[in-house]
Structure 1
């Protein structure tokens, strides 16, 4: 997660949805990462810590900003994220982890086939995008949710809102692979439709 006081935004970084590329622009105007061990301990265990001292993880959920920011400031700041088609996103993360020996889950997942990976991911709350974008009361808390599939359009809107240009944004962590649809048979397609129903319904995605 990134928070900027100067540009008044909260960016929730969804895995495998252009977040690493976006950070190359957003980090320049965001609060610096807090690596203080004491603040990390307090942050991870739910103690009240001001957002200026809170040790946000790269993929922190929106609720962590809600808990650590003054309510008026949290409500005022432009809260946004980029999401991705769940079927495509699963393939992207699967192939990415397989190519990254230093990734924390590489050893565990490297020997899995894609069907096994889907079953594994389904049990992880972080694998479901909607979980990262909710408030403490369970309601959606974002001001804007863009889509990777229409990234240029999404970033044009975000840029206008927060006063930044993404014209020079690099593309990072891309992995060459087959079209995501080729990874699925009818059974696995339906399995993802059921397991990721919240993402698919909330963000209006289809297997297409």
Structure 2
């Protein structure tokens, strides 16, 4: 997450949505009082002990809201990026087994493990995207949602709204794999659709 008091924005870094590329682009515009929390590639913590103790940079709007106050939270430009859950789940499987290389050897077995045998519901990267972006009432708290599928155009729109210069995004932390549709059968499609039903509905995605 990045909170910029200089440019009055809150960027929620939803896991597996190209957040490292966006962070890199935004860092050049941060002021001395701006805050970032991140763990991968760079180690940064918010000067808020309760949030720093979480140990990761994938904070939700709801996490930071009490610490900013209602006036700032309401007036700051709040944005994030989202991704097709079917594609995002493949990225999760590849990431979670990258040390062992099991996804590359037998992707469907890994997918079934995470969907049916032992779903890691409490793992921050496995969580549905809406959990980072919605309030207790289930309503979306973002003013703008970019999409990974149109990453550069979405970032250009963010930069325009913030009044900062846009730049070409780097492809940080990209995994090597094929199109997500190459990995699915109907059982796996149904499994992802069940776990990420709210994401599919809220963000307008399907298989």
Q: CA deviation at 1:164?
A: 2.5
Tell me, in whole angstroms, the C-alpha distance in 1 between the residues paired with 2:130 and 2:112.
Answer: 22
Aligned to 1:201: 201
Q: 1:144 to 1:68 in 2, by over 3 A?
A: same
Compute the TM-score of the two structures, normalised by the length of structure 2: 0.80
Equivalent of 1:124 in 108, 122, 125: 122
Residues 147-166 of structure 1 aligned to structure 2 (within 5 Å):
147-166=147-166
TM-score, structure 1 length as denominator? 0.80
Match of 2:175 in 1: 175
Corresponding residue for 1:34? 45
2:40 matched residue in structure 1: none
Q: 1:180 to 1:134 in 2, by over 3 A?
A: same
* Contact 1:85/1:200 (8 A) holds in 2: yes
Q: 1:137, CA displacement in angstroms? A: 3.4
Change in 2 beyond 3 A, CA 1:139/1:69: same
Q: Secondary structure at the match of 2:20?
A: helix
Give the Cα–Cα distance (whole angstroms) in 1 for the partners of residues 200 and 35 of structure 2: 32
Structure 1 stretches of at least 4 aligned residues deviating more than 3 Å after TM superposition: 32-36, 42-45, 119-122
Q: CA RMSD in A?
A: 2.4
Structure 2: stretches of 5+ with no match in the other structure: 37-43, 101-106
